[in-house]
Every structure is written in C-alpha cells, then in structure tokens.
Amino acid sequence: MTGSLAVATTAVAHAETTLPAVGAQRAAWLLLVFPLFAAVVLLLGGKRTDRWGHLLGVAMPLAAFVYALIAFAQMLGYPGDQRSRDVQIYNWITAGAFKVNVGLQLDQLSICFVLLITGVGSLIFIYSVGYMADDPGRRRFFGYMNLFLASMLLLVLADNYLVLYAGWEGVGLASYLLIGFWQHKPAAAVAAKKAFIANRVGDAGLSLAIMLMFTTFGTVSFAGVFQHPGAASPGVLTAMGLLLLLGACGKSAQLPLQSWLLDAMEGPTPVSALIHAATMVTAGVYLIVRSGPIFDLSADARLAVAIVGAATLLFGGIIGSAKDDIKKALAGSTMSQIGYMMLAAGVGPAGYPFAIALLLAHGFYKAGLFLDAGSIMHGMKDEVNMRRFGGLFSVLPITFTTFAACYLAIIGIPPFSGFFAKDTVIDAAYHDGTTTGWIIGTAALIGAGITSFYMTRILFMTFFGKRRWAEDAHPHEAPRVMTWPVILLGLGALGFGAFEILGDRLSKFLGPVSGYTPPEPGVFTLAGVVALVLAVIFGVVAWLMYGRRPVPEIAPAAGFPVTAARKDLYGDAINESLLMRPGQWLTRLSVYFDNRGVDGLVNTTAAVIGGTSGRLRRIQTGFVRSYALSMFLGGVLLVGALLLARI
C-alpha cells in the first residue's frame, strides 16, 4: 500500500454527500446550548450562584454527553456512507455570492470528538468539584470550563471553516482565562499571556488559510471546499496546507510554536487535563484530518506536517525526560504525543484513522495521568517537584493503580490502547514507502523509547524509592468524587485498546470520512514489535537511573544535554533572541524616531510660532490713542499707495 494509492481512493471517498439530519440528530444544537447555558448562568449570575453553581456546571456537560450518546446510537443505525448528517441552524452572513450558514455536521469524525469531549470532559468536571472545593473561585472556574466546552464542541461540529474559526477562537479565550485562573500569581498571568500570543500567531495562519479558500473556491464550507479541491493550482493548495499547519502548530503546541504549553501548567490541574492534554491541544490534529482533501493533493504540505510532528515528538519527549515538575514532565509528554498524531496525519489518508485512534486513546490516558498528578498535589499540599515525592504507592493506592494503568497504556504495552494506536502510527509511517517515510518512522520509533523512559522516570520518582517528602507533608488519598473519575479514565485507557483491536473497528468506522479502508491487519507488525522492545529497554534504563539508585532531593548538576532539556531545549531563549529582543529594539527605535523625529519637527514649529507671537504680542499696549495713530498711518499709506498707482 503506497501513499499515492491511498490518495487515489480518497478522491472518490470524499465525494460522499452529507444528508440533512432527521430525528434526534436535528437537535444537535443542544450540545452547544447545554454548556453555554451553564457558562452564562455561572458567569452572569454572580455570587448568588456560588452554592449550587458547580452542580449546574457538572450537570450540563453530563446532559451533553447523554445527548451525544443518543446521536451516536442513531448514527450507528445508518449504513456507512449515509452517516454524515447536517443540521442548519441559521443564515449567518449573506453578502452577494458569499453565504455562510451556521450549521453543525455530525459525522464519524466529529462524533468521535464530541464523545471524547463530553465524556472525558464530564469525568474531569466531576473531579474538579472535589479538586476546587476549597477555592473561592470555584463557580467562576466552572463558568470558564463550560465556556470552553461550548467553544470546543462548536469547533468540532462546525460544517464550515468560519464557524470552526469561531470555536477555535473561543477555546483560545477559555484557555487564556483558565491558565490565568489564579491571576494573582504573576507566573500564571504571564503564562496566560504567552499562550494567548503564541496562539495568535497560529490563528493568523488559520485565518489566512480561510481567506485563501474564499478567494480560491468562493466558499468556506467543508462541502464546497472539498468538492473540487483539484480546481486550485498545486501552489495554492500547498500554501493553504502550510497555513492550516501553522494554525495547527499554534493550537497544538507543535514546533515552532510549542513554548506556551509548558508554562500553561500554571493553570489548575483539571484545566491541564481537559484543555492542555485531552481536547483543545488536539484541535490542530482535527484541523489537519478534517482538511484531508487539501492535504491529499499536496505532498509538500503533508511532508511538512509529518516533519513538524516528528520533530515535536522528539523535542517534547526530551524535555519531558528532564523536568522535575510532574505537570511539566507530563506537558512535555503531551507535546510529544501530539507530535505522533501530527506525524500520522502527515502520512495521509492511511494515517488519519490512527491519528484519531491515538488522539482518543491519549485523551483517556493523559487526562488520567494529569488527574492523578492533581490527586498527588491534593495530598502533598500542592507540591509538584517529583524529587520531593517518592514511596507514594502505599499511601495513595488508588492513585498509584490508575497511574500504572495509564502508564501501561501510554508506553504501548499490548493489549492496552497506546500499543495499538501508537504502533499503527509508526507502521503507517514506514508503509509510506519513501525515504522520508523511513526517516519519520525511525524518529517515531526513537520517540516510543523516549516515551517509555520519561514515563518510567515519573513512575519511579513519584511512587517508589525513599520517601523524600517535605517535613509537614501528610499525603492522603483524595475523596471519592476525585478518585472515581480517575478510575473510569484508567479503565478507558486500558479498554480502548480492545475496542481498537477488534477488526480495526475504529478505522472502518472512520473510513468514509478519512477515505481509507484498512487492509486486513496483522496486529503484531514488525514496527510494533521493535517499538515494544525499545520501550522495554528504555524503561529498564529509566529504572536503573531512577528506581535502583536513590534520587537526590536537589537536582544534581548535569552536562549540556540535560541542562538544555531542563531549559525546554532553549525554546524560550530562541523566541527571546529571535523575536522578542528584535521586537523590543524595533519598538525602542520607533519610540526614539517618534520622540525625536516626528515630535521634534512638530515641537520646533510650535516653539518658533510661539516665540514669535510672544514678541508680537507686545504691540498690544492697550493704549487707545496709539491704536488710533497706527490706523491713521495705515490709512495714509493706503491712500498714498492708491494715488501712486493712479499716477
């Protein structure tokens, strides 16, 4: 199976038409209304909603999840090629030939996201009730979280790029508000700004892509753009793909816009779990997969996606291996895992189902890992330094068990979800058949090893070894409202693999959208086995370094590679020296020019006029008779001049 063959089949598959929704699916707008209602009530209701606000904030996502299940069940009742359904809500913009309807598209791809967002989201919301119990801003927190949920659902349900963009900006806003939720901490305020600015760069890319679509195809709806994407010239398609990739890089924290994600960990831990691990940061992958018909026709854009994915995969993994802050280590891991998804998406139609499979599996296990980190912080007085953990497995048994479940899933031990998702990604890269495919596949293989290394490191530093706790730490298991969501996520992380393994179910389900039907699979591919062996080897190395040897409480001095990784591989330094400093110089230069050049000219003119008139003013003596004399002399002069002219 080569890449080009996959492309050939796609052209037909994407021609699949979208039918109008009937029955329960016609009420798809309920998905948006539920969380939006909670957000409006909680944010406008003020303090009087403090007592019951969190209950409303949890009930609405659950209601959305129940509706999503109903819509999903209805979708399963249709044959495969009729599952894409459209709900038109209202006519947003009409300007000549340009029409934009607010419409929701329920198809196989969007329903996967809707189920993930509302399902995993609901669990995280329930967990937040316990995690934020002592926070005076809990109502505001639930308001923002519901706002996020509504925007994210709008993003994945939109049936055109403009409405998608509205959701895209909405999740960016919610992310900003939630990273800076504790805005009294300067670090949180700065992190929120950084995330917002990095996202703006990406958003500019997406908006340019949308404008390019409008000028090229005259429409921005998915149906319109994907109908004849071949009508555009290859150069335009590549530009479109690269601009979409820029948008995806911003939202999904891929190189070169990766630096905000590590700082985003300043937000409350449930935010890190929902927005910066499970859902929002995967929106970039959604964008690429959704825009498949454009990428199918531009090999260069696909290659760029794969390269960005492979680079970020290694980049994030290396950072994650050196961080002592448990949340930042997990954030590095998130970057790395999204790199996997981008890589798979860059492979083309053959990679799309695997990108989505990994995305869904990652949604479960990474949300679980973050919530476990939150439980540990809850018990350890908000300590995040893993060098002050150790030996926690006996005091936090539930947290340890769920963490271990997610651990097995993420490092790709069969038969859990990570194995089937990630190894198929690697396999898909190799199956591309080209040299680039081999290079990218190898990067992915190394990435699998690194994943195992940093996860094993986190596991041993946190749960095993000597107890290196602070003097006054009394770790205790979290209340049940926090443990049950994590247990369910852990089960999901383990069980999702089974869902994936049985006859390539997800790939076949996504087939009509991704335009790829998998060949009969061999579960244990060669790449998969190599990845497994690498994972075990790197895991053992991590055990030798952090399990067998004692972990010092203060990070020991280290050589260049480790120092570099601790400093986010100089991502901030590069941004600072390449963008921030020159920007500052530019502003300083402009200020200087404005002060000295523009203001100087204006001020000099004003000073000259002012000085002259100051002197001229002295003529006004207030002495009436001298005025009369000057009038008289003037009159004489005038008459004299007239007489002279006459003569």
Strand partners, 85: 19, 106
Interaction of residue 47 with other proteins, rule CB under 8 A:
no
CB of 190 to other proteins, least distance (A): 57
Binding residues for other proteins restricted to 360-399, rule: CB under 8 A: none
Beta strand segments in 84-237, E: 85-95, 98-106
Candidates 40-48, 141-149, 545-553, 625-633 — which segment interacts with other proteins by CB under 8 A?
Answer: 625-633
CB of 609 to other proteins, least distance (A): 17
Backbone φ and ψ of 95, nearest 5°: -140, 95
Using the minimum distance from each CB to other proteins, give the nearer residue, 215 or 620: 620
Which amino acid would we find at residue 551? V
Using the minimum distance from each CB to other proteins, give the nearer residue, 394 or 612: 612
HSE on the CB side for 481, CA within 13 Å? 14
Candidates 87-95, 200-208, 344-352, 623-631 — which segment interacts with other proteins by CB under 8 A?
Answer: 623-631
Using the minimum distance from each CB to other proteins, give the nearer residue, 519 or 611: 611
CB of 623 to other proteins, least distance (A): 6
Using the minimum distance from each CB to other proteins, give the nearer residue, 435 or 621: 621
Which amino acid would we find at residue 8? A
d(CA 477, CA 192) in angstroms, rounded, equals 31
Using the minimum distance from each CB to other proteins, give the nearer residue, 529 or 638: 638
Residues in the chain: 647
CB of 599 to other proteins, least distance (A): 29
Using the minimum distance from each CB to other proteins, give the nearer residue, 211 or 629: 629
Q: Is the dihedral of CA 352, 356, 362, 367 positive or negative?
A: positive
Nearest CA to 254 out of 180, 328, 327, 201 is that of 201
Interaction of residue 474 with other proteins, rule CB under 8 A:
no
Which residues make Cβ contacts (< 8 Å) with residue 423, sequence separation at least 6?
412, 448, 525, 527, 528, 531, 532
CB of 620 to other proteins, least distance (A): 5
Nearest CA to 93 out of 83, 103, 107, 108 is that of 103
Q: Do 440 and 429 form a contact (C-beta atoms < 8 A)?
A: yes
Residues 546-585: x/- map of binding to other proteins (CB under 8 A)? ----------------------------------------
Interaction of residue 623 with other proteins, rule CB under 8 A:
yes
Nearest CA to 109 out of 237, 293, 243, 275 is that of 293
d(CA 518, CA 506) in angstroms, rounded, equals 10
Interaction of residue 632 with other proteins, rule CB under 8 A:
yes
CB of 622 to other proteins, least distance (A): 3
CB of 617 to other proteins, least distance (A): 5
Q: Do 333 and 366 form a contact (C-beta atoms < 8 A)?
A: yes
Using the minimum distance from each CB to other proteins, give the nearer residue, 606 or 636: 636
CB of 641 to other proteins, least distance (A): 19
> Which single residue is written with the structure tokens 């929120």?
192
Selected from 47, 51, 184, 625, the binder of other proteins by CB under 8 A is 625
Residue 470, both tokens? 């602070």
CB of 625 to other proteins, least distance (A): 6
Residues 583-622: x/- map of binding to other proteins (CB under 8 A)? ----------------------------------xx-xxx
Nearest CA to 309 out of 197, 413, 425, 418 is that of 425
Using the minimum distance from each CB to other proteins, give the nearer residue, 582 or 635: 635
Q: Do 372 and 455 form a contact (C-beta atoms < 8 A)?
A: no
Interaction of residue 628 with other proteins, rule CB under 8 A:
yes
Strand partners, 94: 99
Which residues make Cβ contacts (< 8 Å) with residue 37, sequence separation at least 6?
60
Using the minimum distance from each CB to other proteins, give the nearer residue, 95 or 616: 616
Using the minimum distance from each CB to other proteins, give the nearer residue, 598 or 633: 633
- The site that binds other proteins (CB under 8 A) totals a number of residues, namely 11
CB of 611 to other proteins, least distance (A): 15
Selected from 544, 629, 638, 639, the binder of other proteins by CB under 8 A is 629
> Which single residue is written with the structure tokens 């659950």?
62
Interaction of residue 95 with other proteins, rule CB under 8 A:
no
Rounded to a whole number of angstroms, the CA Rg of the chain reads: 31
SS3 324: coil
Using the minimum distance from each CB to other proteins, give the nearer residue, 211 or 636: 636
Chain residues that interact with other proteins, rule: CB under 8 A = 617-618, 620-625, 628-629, 632
